DNA sequence: TCTTATTAAGATAAATTTATCTGAATAAAA
DNA sequence: TTTTATTCAGATAAATTTATCTTAATAAGA
């Protein structure tokens, strides 16, 4: 089991944080990303391809090609990657899996889970990739 | 994607809440549980079998057989079902999927996620199945 | 004892997620 | 133009999760 997000989404967030942390270096090869993050190369490549379609990253083919962020890291948030890969459905679903869990027809933990979801949403929304830059660099060193 | 827990775990929690809400009725047939909760019968049966091994539910074979809680619903919490089915690993893992995410080697959202996990843990720990009884009955009516 | 209704158990199948492989397209530079 | 290094795209494979099927074991009651 992944914690909350699919592996695809986890790798996507990691890769995008990596790109933000290495923005100054121009385009980055998938090999570098995959080796540093210790994630499967072809898989992360596929994920970055799809994020290209979403307009979050850009790619350059051919020799000295690679991936880079498609926009200013001050304008990208982790929630954007989640929205593009896993979707935002989890922010509207019951943690116990009950159908139609609403304020009118709540599950036993509806209220608490609602608050938790809001906090999780904020965690992914309040800071930008740029603001995570130094923390990302520090973390990457330890992998 | 499930929200946090596997379908197995979601169904397990739902079924156990159901048993607690119908404690007075003695053993409950899987058919009743599956039909009411609108979950696959054979699947929920398997899950209840495994919870029997964990000592959370008991079963009675043969005609007029079925499942029941193995102990007082005042002594069962949702976390027990999570622990038995999905395990407690998620309360110790990085939400971004980084390896070795600790206070010394934190990911960019380490601190926030830590607080969130604690709240989620509390949500599953503070109340017992017995305390959820009325809320469960209300919810089940609306499925 | 026989019939019936139930869980138990094991096998299998279907669906989804994760990962890999292969060849094409592209672009830089020799 | 050829070589080289890269992403792109599509096919496939492996692993895991979810779901179903089939038969056995059990127990109640006729």
SS (H, E, C) chain B: CCCCCCHHHHHHHHHHHHHHHCHHHCCECHHHHHHHHCCCHHHHHHHHHHHHHCCCEEEECCCCCEEEECCCHHHCEHHHHHHHHCCCHHHHCCCCCCCCCCCCCCCCCHHHHHHHHHHHHHHHHCCECCCCHHHHHHHHHCC
Among the partner-chain residues A10, A109, A132, the one whose CB lies closest to the CB of B97 is A10
Closest residue, by C-alpha, to the C1' of C19: A43
Closest residue, by C-alpha, to the C1' of C21: A42
Q: How confident is the model at residue B1, as a pLDDT? A: 67
Distance B105 CA to D13 C1' (A): 36
> Chain A residue with minimal CA distance to B129?
A108
Residues 36-95 of B with CB under 7 A from strand D: 39-43, 46, 60-65
Burial (CB < 10 A; 0-12, 13-18, 19+), residue A52, is middle
Closest nucleotide to the alpha carbon of B11, via C1': D18
> Chain B residue with minimal CA distance to A97?
B10
Q: Which tens digits make up the pLDDT trace of A71-116? A: 999 999 999 999 999 999 999 999 999 999 999 999 999 999 999 9
Average pLDDT, chain A: 96
Q: How confident is the model at residue A87, as a pLDDT? A: 96
Nucleic strand D under 7 Å from the C-beta of A64: yes
Question: What percent of chain A is modeled with pLDDT above 90?
Answer: 97
Short-list A56, A117, A29, A1, CA closest to B97: A1
Average pLDDT, chain B: 96
Q: Are the CB atoms for A106 and B135 separated by under 8 Å?
A: yes
Taking the C-alpha atoms of residue A81 and residue A85, their distance in angstroms, rounded to an integer, is 6
Determine whether the interchain pair B3/A99 forms a contact, defined as Cβ–Cβ distance below 8 Å: no
Among the partner-chain residues B3, B90, B96, the one whose CB lies closest to the CB of A10 is B96
Q: Which tens digits make up the pLDDT trace of B92-137? A: 999 999 999 999 999 999 999 999 999 999 999 999 999 999 999 9
Determine whether the interchain pair B96/A136 forms a contact, defined as Cβ–Cβ distance below 8 Å: no
Distance B45 CA to C9 C1' (A): 11
Q: Tell me: pLDDT of A36 over 90.
A: yes
Q: Which tens digits make up the pLDDT trace of B37-62? A: 999 999 999 999 999 999 999 999 99
Q: Are the CB atoms for B2 and A94 separated by under 8 Å?
A: no
Enter the pTM of the model. Answer: 0.95
Q: How confident is the model at residue A82, as a pLDDT? A: 98
Nucleic strand D under 7 Å from the C-beta of A54: no
Q: Tell me: pLDDT of A69 over 90.
A: yes
> Chain A residue with minimal CA distance to B8?
A97
Tell me the pLDDT band of B3, cut-offs 50, 70 and 90.
Answer: confident
Taking the C-alpha atoms of residue A7 and residue B126, their distance in angstroms, rounded to an integer, is 30
Q: State mean pLDDT over A36-40.
A: 97
Q: Tell me: pLDDT of A1 over 70.
A: no
Q: State mean pLDDT over A8-30.
A: 96
> Chain A residue with minimal CA distance to B107?
A139
- The Cα of B62 is separated from the nearest Cα of chain A by a number of Å equal to 30
Q: Which tens digits make up the pLDDT trace of B5-29? A: 999 999 999 999 999 999 999 999 9
- The Cα of B113 is separated from the nearest Cα of chain A by a number of Å equal to 8
Taking the C-alpha atoms of residue B47 and residue B6, their distance in angstroms, rounded to an integer, is 12
């Amino acid at each position: 089991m992944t914690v909350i997000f699919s592996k695809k989404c986890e790798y996507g967030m990691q890769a995008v944080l990596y790109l933000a942390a290495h923005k100054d270096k121009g385009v980055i090869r998938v090999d570098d990303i995959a080796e540093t993050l210790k994630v499967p190369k072809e898989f992360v490549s596929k994920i970055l391809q799809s994020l290209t379609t979403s307009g979050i990253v850009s790619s350059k083919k051919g020799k000295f090609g690679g991936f880079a962020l498609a926009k200013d890291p001050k304008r990208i948030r982790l929630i954007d990657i989640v929205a593009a890969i896993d979707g935002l459905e989890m922010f509207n679903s019951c943690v116990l899996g009950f159908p139609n869990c609403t304020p009118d027809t709540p599950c036993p933990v509806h209220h608490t889970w609602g608050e938790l979801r809001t906090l999780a949403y904020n965690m992914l929304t309040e800071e930008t990739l740029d603001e995570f830059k130094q923390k990302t660099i520090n973390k990457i060193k330890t992998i």
